Amino acid sequence: LFAEAGVQTNGNKRHQVLKIGHGGTLDSAATGVLVVGIGKGTKMLGTMLAGSKKYTAIGMLGKATDTLDATGKVTEEKPYDQVTKGDLENVLQKFTGDIMQVPPLYSALKKDGERLSTLMKRGEAVEAKPARPVRVYSLSLQQFQPPLFTLDVECGGGFYVRSLVNDIGKELCTCATVQELTRTRQGPFTLEEHALHEDKWTIDEIARSLEHCTALLPAEPARKKLKTEHPETAVICE
């Protein structure tokens, strides 16, 4: 594992340090791709994950929660019978492209060094962050079975699917919250091809995953910029 991660060993593995870092927070209630860098691969995460991300989200019309997903307390209920499939498809066009989005209060964003979600759970008053520009490359409706609807989303960094679903509900003159959220791609890594399921989180399986992902590494010029002597690798965990 040390060798695959590009870490030189001195023969005494008990005292070796293996650096590990992830390439972007995933909601605690969500599933899917979380890219993890091991060893010198941690230095590559920012470059390799600069592209878009893809999600599949199941939303529910008629209910809103404080966390904007199914884990929170219901804060509002509204009728949704008037919403048609056509209404929903038309609304999605307003949330495609470069838009402004207000991040949710329950998020990994920080205030005075602490996550907003941590402050909220302690009952402290937290002000909403101002709207910020985000990018939605594509947004499509895959299924509509009221009150549930399924979206495929491809977006850039800093985007919150929970805020999207909440805003869609408001635009439809009702409310909505995320019931299920799956990240299907992050950068070049996909759920189908690269994810290592948690029941295979062993040293041998992680090492094999690192080797498998070598094909996704940048070309030689990009590696030289990092001033490393050994190939870096990254591994996906689900």
Q: Distance between CA 29 and CA 19 in Å, rounded? A: 26
Q: Distance between CA 100 and CA 236 in Å, rounded? A: 30
Q: Distance between CA 200 and CA 118 in Å, rounded? A: 31
DSSP string, 112-152: TTEEHHHHHHTT---PPPPPEEEEEEEEEEEEEETTEEEEE
Element (H, E) at 36: strand 34-38
Q: Distance between CA 207 and CA 210 in Å, rounded? A: 5
| 167 labelled catalytic | no
> Which of 27, 69, 87, 112 is flagged as catalytic?
27
The token pair at 80 is 């949704």
Active site residues: 27
